[in-house]
Structure 1
Amino acid sequence: MATSSDNHYLAGLDLNDRRVVVIGAGTVAQRRLPRLISTGAAVEVIAPQATPAVEALADSGEITWSPREYLDGDLDGAWYAVAATASDEVNAAVVAEAERRRVFCVRADHGAGGSAVTPAVAEHDGLLFGVLSGGKPRRSAGVRDALLEAVQSGVIDEHTEPHAPGVALIGGGPGAPDLITVRGRRLLAKADVVITDHLAPRELLEELGPDVEVIDASKIPYGRAASQAVINETLIESVRAGKFVARLKGGDPFVFGRGFEELLACDEAGVPVTIVPGVTSAFSAPAMAEVPVTHRGVAHEAVVVSGHVAPDDERSLVDWEALARLRGTLVLLMAVKRIDAFAETLIKHGRPADTPVAVVQEATTGTQRNLRTTLARVAQDIQDQDIKPPAVIVIGPVAGLKD
């Protein structure tokens, strides 16, 4: 039987509608199956038992599962095979049959023992690339990850055609530049124009090319603010000028980010929009302070409320009396300035004064500050410790689980 070499020939196999046989249905096979399925291959798994995930793939019809032991002859008609059992003997037998039938076979437990090896693979915007390192899978994975990050961030120029004119509403996450989504970072790298807010990760702007126009549309809390109408107009005019525009926001565009207002304006003007959700500070900021917004047996609800207007303001749409009756978690955004009114109202309508409160300022950044207090003391403690926006305020028993 031929032995595998470290000098592999890297090729792309068209497995669409071709029979692929996977012997074994444990966690190793579970990792291999999704990419095989994505090729359109007719995948058959042979194993007496399977993990719940593999069973689910069979139940959904994405694979065929034969719940039995491997038998010589199972590779008849196969184009590709994977030996992924926990038995050295079975894996060796699968490789031997594959060799006789001239079917390329990956041996998952001993790469050099098969006639093929699986590269470390990644996909990006229609680009598929794989890395082999002569039997050193950790090295392959490390290089693969570095390449993927470089392509996604725009460090590596793909030399692709310019992106079609349009708008991408991108949630930049809570502040740290590495908490933007992969799709968000990819589209940001393609932008001709970037319209950014004060709360968007500013470090990402350093990665943009010198020809990218950056427009500051900052809505600094309680300071100067760019008119929403002007922002909408700028988005539309830039696209009509043939530009691809990235509208970069902090958090998630649709969580008190006015993203839907911009979507409606673009829709009315016939401008195409791509929505890229982001990690909202409402949940990520508490997490960074080791505060879960829900916890089994403690909180069965988590309510996110905007604090941009006071409880007695005629513009308020919040039922503060109902909120005060809840026993779960209340997350306040944009509430630092009016926290005294919010706390007073909640206590007045029944929320206990000793309810734990956590305040997280500038979460995920190097200047993050955490404050633990109670509902009765939160306003005074925020003032005494000079807590400034942006900050997230968490009210409820979850804030007292870990002091």
Structure 2
Amino acid sequence: MTIQDIYPAALRLLGRPVLVVGGGPVAARRAKGLLDAGARVTIVAPQAGAGVRELADAGLLAWKARPYRSGDADGAWFIQTATGDPAVDAQVAADAEAQRTWCVNASDHEASAAWTPAVAVVDDVKIAINAGGDPRRAMALRDAVATALDTGDLPLRRHRVQTDAATGSVALVGGGPGDPGLITVRGRRLLGQADVVVTDRLGPRQLLNELAPDVRVVEVGKTPGHHPVPQAEINRILVSEALAGHRVVRLKGGDPYVLGRGGEEAEYCRQHGVDVELVPGVTSAVSVPAAAGIPVTHRGLARGFSVVTGHEELAEVPARADHTVVLLMGVGRLRDSAATLAAAGLPAATPVGIVENGYLPNQRVTIGTLGTIADQAAAVGVANPAVVVIGDVVRVSPYAPPHFKTADYSTTSPNTPRVPAP
């Protein structure tokens, strides 16, 4: 038998009698798969291993504890041999052939009337692969295809409308700081299944180019001081598209629940009877500083951090260089923010780093102090999207000037007073 002799088909065995001959581990695996398909399974074997016994004891199948007899094949819709004895398997296959019942002969795949593929299930897609009678090759291919579906590298999106689905769904997906490789596997998979993508101007926009041509992309991006699509309208779009039966992905930069108004969108969806899933993202508050080699916490320098927007009152943020302050959307009011922190007691010499376009090819890092950073930013034309980091952790960055380095920002002497290196 060659692969050209195989006609792929899927059997519907719900409620139909199926015979498995053999009682070992292979028989148990095949029986479980057949039970998953809804078949009424009978096993014939003089002895059975633990797997078969567990299924029989649970009442999931019938086990006849004796050798195979030719009459056992009568009335079966499908037969699987798994005795390990070629002579017995050949007899079962011959009996099945005589009554025109499909039979998988595990002892002789070349002579077998049917082959069992390597199978995986992803969402509501079942993958079945035959590989020229080489089961390990088939399993390797199956696993590769399943992984590609899981990660969104292969399209999992439906093209036929499900008649039993009155409404669609909404997934709030955190896309991370912008690099397409930093979205989660779950987020990438949901994006590949989407009918409608409601997207911000931030996040992994390159992934939009990989969507199918008929996927609708709705742009709702905001810039500081300019909100062309109000939040109330974004909420309405999500719900109306889901109620029309679509799978909707709300693709957001960073994490939907970190200053991203994802909580409001999720609440609005639930209030209107729409299923909503939250997929966390790598928040820019942590990841963008990391792109410049700045940890928001570091042993010996900072054990905590605060994340605020540039529009928030900063007076209550701990005014200490060993407590990191991360400003999101803070470029426009950087001078005011620096003045507020200085008035609260933060020394003017406190290091400050600004990271523009984190992880993107045009990433730029500007480093100064609380007292100088506003003038430096104005001089070089710093613009959003950017993250501002304030605190001693900026000293760790490889972009920091030599005189910012300290003698003790390692894990070996965490309690040594911070003093400039000689």
Query: TM-score, length-normalised on structure 1?
Result: 0.63
1:344-392 superposed Cα distances (whole Å, 9 cap, x missing partner):
1111221111111111101111111111211111111111111110100
CA distance in 2 between counterparts of 1:189 and 1:130 reads 21
Which of 236, 240, 250 is residue 237 of structure 1 equivalent to?
240
Q: Secondary structure at the match of 1:392?
A: strand
The structure-2 alpha-carbon separation of the partners of 1:144 and 1:288, relative to structure 1 and needing over 3 Å to count, comes to farther
- Aligned residues: percent identity? 44
Equivalent position of 2:148 in the other structure = 149
Equivalent position of 2:343 in the other structure = 348
CA distance in 2 between counterparts of 1:389 and 1:11 reads 62
Equivalent position of 2:255 in the other structure = 252
1:325-357 superposed Cα distances (whole Å, 9 cap, x missing partner):
463111110100101011111112211111111
Q: Is 2:182 the partner of 1:186?
A: no
Equivalent position of 1:228 in the other structure = 231
Equivalent position of 2:212 in the other structure = 209
Query: TM-score, length-normalised on structure 2?
Result: 0.60
Q: Is 2:259 the partner of 1:291?
A: no
Equivalent position of 2:363 in the other structure = 368
**Structure 2, gaps ≥5 residues long:** 1-25, 33-47, 53-83, 85-117, 401-422
CA distance in 2 between counterparts of 1:122 and 1:335 reads 48
The structure-2 alpha-carbon separation of the partners of 1:123 and 1:306, relative to structure 1 and needing over 3 Å to count, comes to farther
Which of 305, 309, 332 is residue 308 of structure 2 equivalent to?
305
CA distance in 1 between counterparts of 2:346 and 2:135 reads 61
Figure out how many residues of one structure are paired with residues of the other and give that number.
289
The structure-2 alpha-carbon separation of the partners of 1:142 and 1:359, relative to structure 1 and needing over 3 Å to count, comes to farther
What is the alpha-carbon root mean square deviation over aligned residues? 3.5
Deviation at 1:150, TM superposition (A): 5.6
Q: Is 2:171 the partner of 1:172?
A: no
Deviation at 1:13, TM superposition (A): 3.4
Q: Is 2:285 the partner of 1:269?
A: no
Whether the aligned pair in 2 keeps the contact of 1:151 and 1:158 (CA below 8 Å) is no
CA distance in 2 between counterparts of 1:142 and 1:357 reads 50
CA distance in 2 between counterparts of 1:294 and 1:15 reads 54
CA distance in 2 between counterparts of 1:398 and 1:239 reads 44
Q: Secondary structure at the match of 1:360?
A: strand
Deviation at 1:152, TM superposition (A): 2.9
Equivalent position of 2:199 in the other structure = 196
CA distance in 2 between counterparts of 1:234 and 1:345 reads 39
Q: Secondary structure at the match of 1:204?
A: helix
Whether the aligned pair in 1 keeps the contact of 2:121 and 2:127 (CA below 8 Å) is yes
Deviation at 1:324, TM superposition (A): 1.7
Deviation at 1:154, TM superposition (A): 5.2
Deviation at 1:220, TM superposition (A): 2.2
Higher-Rg member (1/2): 2
Q: Which amino acid aligns with 1:13?
A: R
Whether the aligned pair in 2 keeps the contact of 1:130 and 1:144 (CA below 8 Å) is no
1:208-231 superposed Cα distances (whole Å, 9 cap, x missing partner):
111111111011233343111111
